[in-house]
Amino acid sequence: MTLLMVAFFYINYQKELQSFDKSLLSRMHLCSYSLKCKEFKIDFKEKQKQNNYMLLKSEDEILSYYPIREASDFLLKLSLSKNLYHSQMHHLHKSLILNALISLILIIFLSIFFSFYALHPLRNSLELTQEFVKDILHDFNTPISTMRLNVSLLKKECKENKKLQRIERSIENILLLQENLKNYLQAKECSKEVFVLSYLIQERVNMIEHNFPHLNYTVTISDKTTLSTCKKEFTRIIDNILSNASKYNKTGGFIDILYISKEHILIIKDNGKGIKNPKKVFNRFYKEHERGLGIGLHIVKKLCQKLGIKIYLKSKLDEGTEVFITLSTASS
């Protein structure tokens, strides 16, 4: 609307200038008949190749020539000084700018009003949807706790078997999805902590490797390396990356986690299925497999931005993926 208004006022400005010049020329015409006008300077000019009855502009004045009946060798010259011309134009500019500002303020006010009016129902719907999802996530806790308890009891009665392991793995995936959705919906401030990087990584590996016994995990990080950041959010980042590296791997595959202290880069590497479009994996709802909702790595990207961490990855189909996390706050 602002651009349209600017275009409209520019066209109107050009028309006003033309109208002002036409009015000035009309006054000169009337003055050429009576010569009773104090506004213009009257002079006579030897006839050459001047254009008559036209408004001409020079460096010093605005002028017009008119023929004299009884003197064919001379022309009547009516002129207006450039300073006086600009003074009259100034009043025109002032009026046009004032009208433009009033119109702009009115358009801004109306735009804000209609924006709030149009977006208010949408905002209410989004808030209701978020509250609904939060309530569902909260209600998940009871059935999940019941399932975990019953699985524990079954393990005591039936000992270890593959079916119970698959159930446990599914429950862990539900918990991970629940935590991802909570992080996606809630944007809370976090407090920084200083912790040993290798201890945290090893802890997360120990939790996930039981669900993927067919994979080999290795952690190569010095026990002296510490990291100062929001521990909970950083844990969510590591859990999501390890989960993806594990779920989309192959039997006998590996997941290597190493830290390069000189470059402050944490690398998580696997030899799994790989990614077809690595540049799209951080986009919301993008996924290349039927599993999941496509928000895990999008949440990872958001958490990294929140913590001031740079993340990127390289991947080839059927060869594996490397995730690079730059930890500027790490020290060895």
The secondary structure of 303-329 as a DSSP string is: HHHHHT-EEEEEEETTTEEEEEEE-TT
CA 236 to chain centre: 24
**d(Cα 319, Cα 271) in Å, to the nearest integer?**
5
Distances (CA, A) of 332 to 165, 230, 266, 307: 38, 18, 13, 19
- CATH annotation of 190-331: 3.30.565.10
Cβ pair 286, 249 in contact under 8 A: no
Task: Give residue 52's pLDDT.
Answer: 84
Tokens of 251: 């039997």
Domain with CATH 3.30.565.10 in the chain: 190-331
Cβ pair 294, 287 in contact under 8 A: yes
H or E, element range at 216: strand 216-220
| Partner residues linked to 65 by β-bridges | 52, 77
**d(Cα 318, Cα 307) in Å, to the nearest integer?**
32
Tokens of 237: 């980042």
Torsion, CA 101, CA 106, CA 110, CA 113, rounded to 10: 90
Cβ pair 44, 64 in contact under 8 A: no
Task: Give residue 193's pLDDT.
Answer: 87
Taking the complete model, does pTM exceed 0.85, yes or no?
Answer: no
The two counts, helices (H) then strands (E), for the chain are 6, 12
**d(Cα 165, Cα 159) in Å, to the nearest integer?**
11
Tokens of 102: 């009033």
Cα of first residue to Cα of last residue in the chain, in angstroms, is 56
Task: Give residue 213's pLDDT.
Answer: 85
Q: What is the pLDDT along the chain (332 residues), one digit of tens a residue?
A: 777 777 888 888 888 888 888 888 898 888 888 888 888 888 888 887 778 888 888 888 888 988 887 777 888 888 888 888 888 888 877 888 888 888 888 888 888 888 888 888 888 887 777 777 777 767 777 787 888 888 888 877 777 677 777 787 777 767 766 776 666 666 666 778 899 999 999 988 988 887 788 899 999 998 888 988 888 889 889 988 998 899 888 888 999 999 998 888 999 999 988 888 888 888 877 777 666 566 778 888 888 888 888 999 998 888 889 999 998 776 76
Phi and psi, residue 197, nearest 5°? -65, -45
What's the DSSP call for residue 50?
A: P
Task: Give residue 323's pLDDT.
Answer: 92
3-state secondary structure at position 27: helix
Task: Give residue 183's pLDDT.
Answer: 64
Q: How many CB atoms lie within 10 A of CB 195?
A: 14
**d(Cα 247, Cα 236) in Å, to the nearest integer?**
16
Task: Give residue 184's pLDDT.
Answer: 60
For residue 56, the number of C-alpha atoms closer than 13 Å in the C-beta half-sphere is 15
